[in-house]
Amino acid sequence: MLKKLSIQNYAIIDEISIDFSSRMNSITGETGAGKSILMGALSLILGERADSSVLVNKEKKCFMEGVFAVGNKPNVGRFLKDNDLDTDEELVLRREISANGKSRAFINDTPATLQQLKELASMLVDLHQQFDTLEIGDSDFQREVLDALGGNENALAAYRSRFGQWQAVSRELAQLQQQKTGFNKELDYNQFLFDELNELGLKENELEELDTELKLLSNAEGIKTTLSKAYFDLRESEQPLVQLLKQTIQQLNGYAAVHPDLAAIIQRLQSAQIELQDISDEIERINDSVNYDEKRIEWINQRMMDGYKLIKKHGVQNTNDLLQIQAGLEKKLRAVLDIDDAIAAKTKEAAILFAEAGELAAGISAVRGKMIRPLEEKVNRLLAQVGMPNARLKVSAAETSLHEYGKDAIEFLFDANKSNRFEPIRKVASGGELSRLMLCIKSLVAQSIDLPTMIFDEIDTGISGEAARQVGLIMKDLAASRQVICITHQPQIAGKADAHFFVFKEVRGEAIKTNIRLLNQDERITAIARMLSGEKPTAAAMENAREMMN
């Protein structure tokens, strides 16, 4: 519940502090006294956007703070834990607006975003303001009423999770199908390019190696002539070098024992002889391997022409670049084949998720259907209680395609005069009728949700007399299990409060300021009597005020 509300430098409020009762609180005052200003300040604490125009004294910042007793509320505890915020039995929400219009929000003295503030506040307070009756004509609100009464929270969470999974898979499927469309557009061209490279069947570095081989074959005759002469000089001439070395070694051997240095020379000559023999053998082998092959040259020329044509076509430098392009094309072509399998798998997955979501939605719809008749009966009974005996509420539930909240289109229909012509609420109900209808519905919903504080800002618009008394009784009944704060002009409602606050204007220096104070028993009787009969209440009005409070 809201234990304390503190406001500084907001509009014509200089500084006030309100300690609320845990039951029913009424706030009264003359029109223009500043009751709506209080609600404006409170709405800032609850996450609404700020406007620097509320700063009257530009030298000081604007400050609003609400102290809430949260007790053991699991959803509040989870929120604080998930957002790394301090947990305590008391929760402090604060807004500050500087002179330059910048706003800051705090949760337990920790800076927070407006979204965090609004999300947390929604777990603590239901604020119904003067023009919120329009909400009752909103299909989302109407659906939420049935879900609250039916306890659909967990079922909806499970459904929305599955529905979200189906949406995600459906998006993935659409992307795959779009990719396939793009693949199909390029398929023929990519297949042509791949076939062209694949038919050529190049190997790694092949064109570069063929170029080397072609140079060799083109010079085969000159190479063979040179190699043959070298071999002839080494082994087969009239005085071959290998034979001359052998003779020289033999001649020197005759004097090796006489001169000590000759042994080393002989050894070196022997090594040279062996090396020349190996060289001549290698020359012979190479010579045998070199052959002029006109057909081979012709084949190489054609293959290189085909290869370099593709190198030029693809704007690359060598064989390996072509092979990389071929691998890339093959990957794209394989992807076309693989995407069909992926589409089939995603289609199956989407169908399963859709069916599961449909089953969950059917369960939610069944619960909503069971809530319709009890809701109609209870609301119609309450409408008679608040002075609308001829008014009737009817709930229409039509099946639709799956959406974020199931497969129902919920519509609240209204007949104010027993005409049996039910029309959507937003089209036929007046402001006063909407206010009372909203109160009746919220009083029922409040029994199904754990909302510690309900705030009504002039929900009594357009009613008086017995209807106002019945509204007061409903609020009093609500306050038995939660905190109720109501801004009202009706003495019948104010008289039911456990705590009565009076808003008034006062002159301070040359400025007019709004202030508020808690009335004692006698002051309450006088204030209610004035609401009944004017500034100077009669004895009868005073007596009526006492009866209303009792």
Phi-psi region of 277 (alpha: psi -120 to 50; beta: other; left: phi over 0): alpha
Identify which of 125, 85, 124, 77 has the alpha carbon closest to the alpha carbon of residue 108: 85
Q: CATH 3.40.50.300 in the chain, residues?
A: 1-124+451-519
502 touches 4 (CB < 8 A): no
Q: How confident is the model at residue 403 (pLDDT cuts 50, 70, 90)?
A: very high
Task: Please report, as a single letter, which amino acid is at residue 284.
Answer: E
Phi, psi angle pair for 119, to nearest 5°: -65, -45
Encoded tokens for 526: 């006088």
pLDDT of the residue at 130: 43
The residue-averaged pLDDT of 434-463 equals: 78
Tokens 């009202």 map to which residue?
488
Does the structure show a pLDDT above 50 at 56? yes
Q: What is the mean pLDDT of the chain?
A: 85
- Condensed to tens digits (0 to 9), the pLDDT of residues 280-324 reads 888 888 888 888 778 888 898 898 898 989 989 989 889 999 999
pLDDT of the residue at 131: 39
The residue-averaged pLDDT of 79-98 equals: 85
How many angstroms from the chain centroid is the CA of residue 111?
Answer: 22
pLDDT of the residue at 404: 92
321 touches 155 (CB < 8 A): no
> What single DSSP character describes residue 49?
P
pLDDT of the residue at 19: 93
416 touches 427 (CB < 8 A): no
pLDDT of the residue at 53: 67
We find that the CATH architecture of domain 1-124+451-519 is 3-Layer(aba) Sandwich (3.40)
The residue-averaged pLDDT of 68-91 equals: 82
- Condensed to tens digits (0 to 9), the pLDDT of residues 17-32 reads 999 999 999 999 887 7
Most confident of 73-82, 240-249, 360-369: 360-369
Answering whether pTM is above 0.75, one says no
pLDDT of the residue at 136: 61
181-190, 202-211, 523-532: lowest mean pLDDT where?
181-190
Give the neighbor-by-neighbor strand order of the sheet with 24-29.
110-112, 103-107, 90-97, 62-69, 2-10, 13-19, 511-518, 499-508, 24-29, 483-487, 453-457, 125-128
The residue-averaged pLDDT of 478-507 equals: 89
